[in-house]
Amino acid sequence: MGSLDENLPLPSIHGFKPLDLGDLREQVHQTVDFIMDYYKNVESFPVLPSVQPGYLRGLLPATPSDKPTTFDAILRDLRRAILPGLTHWTSPNFFAYFPATLSSAALAGDLLASAFNPVAFNWLSSPAATELESLVLDWLAHLLRLPSRFLSSSASTAAHGGGVLHTTTSEAILCTLVAAREAALRRCGGGAAAISRLVAYGSDQTHSTFFKACRIAGFDPAHVRSVPTRSESEFSLEPASLRAAMAADAAAGLVPAYVCATVGTTSSTAVDPVGPISEVAAEFGAWVHVDAAYAGSACVCPEFRQYLDGVERADSVSFSPHKWLLACLDCTCLWVRDTRLLTGPLGTDPEYLKNGPSESGSVVDLKDLQVGVGRRFRALKLWMVIRTYGVANLRAHIRSDVQMAQGFERMVRLDPRFEVVVPRRFALVCFRLRPRGEMGEAWADKENRRLLEMINESGRVYITHTVVGGKYVLRFAVGSTLTEERHVAGAWELITKKADELLGAENNPARNI
């Protein structure tokens, strides 16, 4: 709680300078030192904190002080109250969910973006922010070998493609869904009431945010399909199943409007075949969005680009460099083949934002391609990441994570107590203790749950789970930026030690050699 020596005297109203350059230098330098210390030590912190809900209220005052507090005291509180309650996403022992990558270039870019603080809703409100965004999205489109229809710089005057940076994939899905909704309503000519006839399609592996976006966009929940996938096809959306669902809906007088295909599903990195799915969708005039939130980053490497094959037939595609391409949260790239389909339903034109360049039609106002109005200068960190490291290093970064995941996969395969449940494609390994005894699957579900608890309670690593094909599975996602091979090896050692404890060491064949 605040003690007297933490408080500074109240300044006179004119003496208060929140952007005093001396303070700025000192506070930012102190902050950088704090960050350096944090990264030096993060490896030794429990990855998952053991605090109880509500823990913070006991550590910080319930009401703010009238008087200013010294920066030192604030940093002490940060160390004392905040760090112990952080889940350390930057820990090299973080293997949960999909990781969130960052880099010194991204941190510097984000700090500069905060320093300039342009709100950048339209071109005039910060021309460089809009133009750098369009340039950097074209760069990334080249890296991913996206077809020219998605480039803003496309030579053809008939082309209206382009990209925009969103906060998250959720925003990209919502905005493209709204665009598809309007396009479908125009096509079926039933007026706004026809929204009750529109249908959107994902698979049972599609991210939950798609189903949420459908609710926000006004789709009838009874008309949002979760097409079942099968383990035989590695949990990818099968074009024949999609066609059957779409044909049944069309025959019932409904209007197929939107298909969400995923390249790298969240559960198990399954890949929906974009080309064949787009062909099916085209039969019914539906919009195809490709959600490559995680795996899109890998497609900067030629050996992974095949997973985007067919994207030239899609209407939109998004991926999140904050998940795997060294840009920090938040940063999602969305490309659409025709930006007018977004600006139609999402555009606004209030008097107080009117200006010459916007009216001339020669510029793009990015507020019209997103949910909000104000927007961060996110292009800066992305541009700085790409320039600082160069494409060769971006590829090396992806390959190094994939190799570490391969190493982990090999170790799992060498231990007969364990199995790899679905084929590894990127840097995620889905594995579990093999079923045993008469109880088989029920035994495996129970023991794998318990094993995960024991692993995470140790605080030494953090991994998460999923259920795929009815099986409770542990997910080991390599990709936290500080992770090295020794951390992966250490994690496997911990996992096998916990398995020994759980099953009895006498059941570990490796011990009997």
The least distance separating ligand PLP from the CB of residue 358, rounded to whole angstroms, comes to 29
Asked if 235 touches ligand PLP (CB under 6 A), the answer is no
Q: Which of 435, 398, 193 is nearest to 303 (CA)?
A: 398
Within 74-133, which residues bind ligand PLP (CB under 6 A)? 98
Residue 352 a catalytic site member: yes
Which is nearer to ligand PLP, 180 or 255 (by Cβ)? 180
Q: Which stretch binds ligand PLP (CB under 6 A): 66-74, 101-109, 147-155, 164-172?
A: 164-172
The least distance separating ligand PLP from the CB of residue 166, rounded to whole angstroms, comes to 8
Residue 97 near residue 47, CB atoms below 8 Å: no
Q: Which of 226, 224, 198, 229 is nearest to 213 (CA)?
A: 224
Asked if 464 touches ligand PLP (CB under 6 A), the answer is no
- Say how many C-beta atoms besides its own lie within 10 A of residue 475's C-beta: 23
Q: Which stretch binds ligand PLP (CB under 6 A): 41-49, 289-297, 430-438, 496-504?
A: 289-297
How many residues contact ligand PLP, by CB under 6 A?
15
Which strands make up the sheet holding 287-291, listed edge to edge?
A: 162-166, 332-336, 316-319, 287-291, 255-262, 198-203, 224-227
The least distance separating ligand PLP from the CB of residue 195, rounded to whole angstroms, comes to 24
Backbone dihedral angles phi then psi of residue 238, each to the nearest 5 degrees: -90, 130
Within 476-495, which residues bind ligand PLP (CB under 6 A)? none
List the one residue from 93, 266, 268, 456 that touches ligand PLP (CB under 6 A): 266
- Give dist(CA 398, CA 75) in Å, integer: 35
List the one residue from 291, 338, 368, 401 that touches ligand PLP (CB under 6 A): 291
The least distance separating ligand PLP from the CB of residue 447, rounded to whole angstroms, comes to 27
Which is nearer to ligand PLP, 174 or 444 (by Cβ)? 174
Q: Which is the catalytic residue, given 38, 39, 307, 352?
A: 352
Burial 296-305 (b: 16+ CB within 10 A, else e): bbbbbbeebe
The least distance separating ligand PLP from the CB of residue 266, rounded to whole angstroms, comes to 4
- Give the DSSP H/E element, type plus range, for residue 412: helix 379-414
Asked if 262 touches ligand PLP (CB under 6 A), the answer is yes
In which residue are the tokens 């009431």 written?
193
Q: Which of 205, 244, 208, 246 is nearest to 228 (CA)?
A: 205
Asked if 293 touches ligand PLP (CB under 6 A), the answer is yes
List the one residue from 241, 332, 480, 483 that touches ligand PLP (CB under 6 A): 332
Backbone dihedral angles phi then psi of residue 323, each to the nearest 5 degrees: -85, -35
List the one residue from 101, 203, 209, 481 that touches ligand PLP (CB under 6 A): 209
Residue 430 near residue 412, CB atoms below 8 Å: no
Asked if 370 touches ligand PLP (CB under 6 A), the answer is no
Listed in sequence order, the DSSP H helices in 263-378 are 274-283, 321-324, 340-346, 356-360
- Give dist(CA 354, CA 57) in Å, integer: 46
Which is nearer to ligand PLP, 109 or 264 (by Cβ)? 264
Which is nearer to ligand PLP, 216 or 494 (by Cβ)? 216
Q: What is the binding site for ligand PLP (CB under 6 A)?
A: 98, 168-170, 207, 209, 262, 264-266, 291, 293-294, 320, 332
Which active-site residues does the annotation give? 352
